[in-house]
């Protein structure tokens, strides 16, 4: 999923989506007789520049269509989108994360793209993540994986031992982080805390549990408590910042994170963030496998679409919207422009065509994904409605624990109760 942290309010989304069935069509014709499409996405200035170049290429090949990009920063993207849908003003083409696909599909906001967009060169398991109730509502742009990034120079500076990622455990991870902090006199901290749902999903899989089991959580209270114990150990050993500092850092963009400012030696990230992290730090960074629970039979790691392209069910220009999505997914020239910004291209032929053009950091990402591919679990299906709020819930209760406002027992029970009520709809 993205590096942004603020998730839209579940109540706002639910309220906004109630109006979708009454929404009139989006899309229009411009004054010169061309079809006008609106394309919503989030991202940085660099993503905007790449996207505008891709749009220009599409318009060059389709002179009867004008595409207007609507970019937002990630924290405000979904709130804006929910408002547009409620106001009968949905964009024709909408970018979504996996945790939003079911939310919008089940409320009738998305068009079925089966047979309208060619997906022959996308792995069937990856493509299936965009299916809800048997319909292909979302087409993956590219894939990534949630894992660990390390700054080897900072580990060496601390005279700490680099990990053997084929066998290291969570205890090894905590020890590495505390050694880095101690070895640099606190000038570099071992890691920055994360409460990303993907992190919990990986940890739960190592214990043989699912994050989601239908419309409820599949994890036990003990798994949550054990997961929080890693966080508590990191704070106790100074392998991470204090609770106050960790909370402050959580909303930071990659440029302001510890790994991005060379004040942290490790971080948990999505692989498509490696390029931005490398650029921010100005140093060589390496991807490594996630640590494992002692005796775990699986790493729990998985490939997942970085994002999806979807089309509004109310678009008056449905054919043109599908044509634009098809172009963004399948055109090698666009692949050469966007590269891995939206994940490593999901289209195998496009990935093959652009692999030699990828920047060094993205070459590392591709090599890492290829190295661990045989160890990865199947991509998860689109999670249940309400999952869009899970990161906020995880963060809230995690902070209750690290600030000692709740015991892990109390927080685990309340988190599961609240989450199950939300997921049940």
pLDDT in tens, the chain (425 residues): 343 434 344 434 444 443 444 344 455 555 578 999 999 999 888 899 999 999 999 999 999 999 999 999 887 899 999 999 999 899 999 999 999 999 999 989 999 999 999 999 999 999 999 999 999 999 999 999 999 999 999 999 999 999 999 999 999 999 999 999 999 999 999 999 999 999 999 999 999 999 999 999 999 999 999 999 999 999 999 999 999 999 999 888 888 999 999 999 999 999 988 988 999 999 999 999 999 999 999 999 999 999 999 999 999 999 999 999 999 999 999 999 998 889 999 999 999 999 999 999 999 999 999 999 999 999 988 999 889 899 999 999 999 999 999 999 999 999 999 999 999 97
Which residues fall within 8 angstroms of residue 282, CB to CB, at 6 or more apart? 262
pTM of the model as a whole: 0.88
CA atoms of 160 and 185, how far apart (whole Å): 13
Q: Is domain 145-302+384-423 classified as CATH 3.30.565.10?
A: no
User: Measured in Å, how far apart are the chain's first and last C-alpha atoms?
Assistant: 23
CA atoms of 349 and 194, how far apart (whole Å): 35
> What tokens appear for 26 in the block?
């989006």
Instruction: Return the number of other C-beta atoms located less than 10 Å from residue 124's C-beta.
Output: 8
Q: For the chain, which residues make up each domain, given as ranges?
A: 10-142+306-368, 145-302+384-423
> What tokens appear for 59 in the block?
């318009």
CA atoms of 323 and 122, how far apart (whole Å): 17
Q: 10-142+306-368 maps to which CATH number?
A: 3.40.190.10
């Amino acid at each position: 999923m993205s590096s942004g942290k603020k998730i839209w309010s579940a109540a706002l989304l639910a309220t906004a989506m109630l109006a979708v069935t009454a929404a009139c069509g989006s899309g229009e014709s411009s004054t010169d007789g061309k079809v006008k499409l609106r394309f919503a996405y989030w991202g940085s200035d660099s993503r905007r520049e790449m996207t505008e170049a891709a749009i220009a290429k599409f318009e060059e090949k389709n002179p009867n269509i004008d595409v207007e990009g609507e970019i937002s920063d990630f924290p405000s993207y979904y709130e804006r989108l929910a408002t547009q849908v409620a106001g009968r003003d949905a964009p024709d083409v909408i970018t979504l994360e996996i945790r939003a696909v079911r939310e919008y599909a089940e409320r009738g906001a998305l068009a079925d793209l089966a047979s309208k967009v060619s997906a022959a060169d996308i792995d069937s398991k990856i493509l299936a993540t965009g299916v809800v109730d048997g319909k292909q509502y979302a087409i993956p742009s590219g894939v990534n994986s949630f894992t660990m990034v390390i700054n080897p120079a900072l580990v060496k500076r601390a005279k700490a031992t680099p990990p053997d990622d084929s066998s290291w455990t969570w205890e090894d991870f905590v020890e590495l982080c505390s050694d880095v902090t101690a070895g640099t006199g606190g000038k570099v901290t071992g890691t920055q805390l994360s409460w990303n749902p993907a992190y919990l999903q990986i940890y739960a899989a190592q214990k043989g549990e699912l994050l989601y089991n239908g419309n409820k959580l599949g994890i036990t209270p003990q798994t949550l408590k054990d997961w929080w114990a890693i966080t508590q150990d990191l704070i106790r050993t100074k392998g991470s910042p204090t609770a106050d500092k960790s909370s402050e850092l959580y909303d930071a963009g990659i440029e302001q994170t510890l790994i991005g400012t060379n004040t942290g030696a490790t971080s948990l990230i999505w692989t498509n963030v490696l390029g931005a992290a490398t650029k921010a730090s100005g140093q060589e960074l390496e991807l490594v496998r996630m640590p494992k629970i002692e005796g775990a039979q699986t790493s729990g790691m998985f490939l997942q679409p970085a994002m999806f392209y979807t089309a509004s069910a109310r678009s008056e220009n449905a054919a043109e919207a599908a044509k634009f999505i098809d172009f963004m997914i399948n055109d090698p020239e666009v692949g050469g422009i966007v590269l891995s910004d939206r994940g490593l291209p999901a289209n195998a032929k496009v990935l093959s065509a652009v692999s030699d053009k990828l920047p060094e950091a993205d070459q590392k990402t591709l090599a890492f994904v290829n190295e661990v591919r045989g160890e990865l679990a199947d991509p998860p299906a689109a999670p249940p409605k309400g999952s869009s709020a899970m990161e906020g819930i995880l963060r809230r209760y995690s902070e209750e624990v690290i600030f000692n406002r709740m015991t892990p027992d109390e927080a685990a029970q309340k988190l599961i109760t609240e989450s199950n009520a939300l997921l049940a709809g």
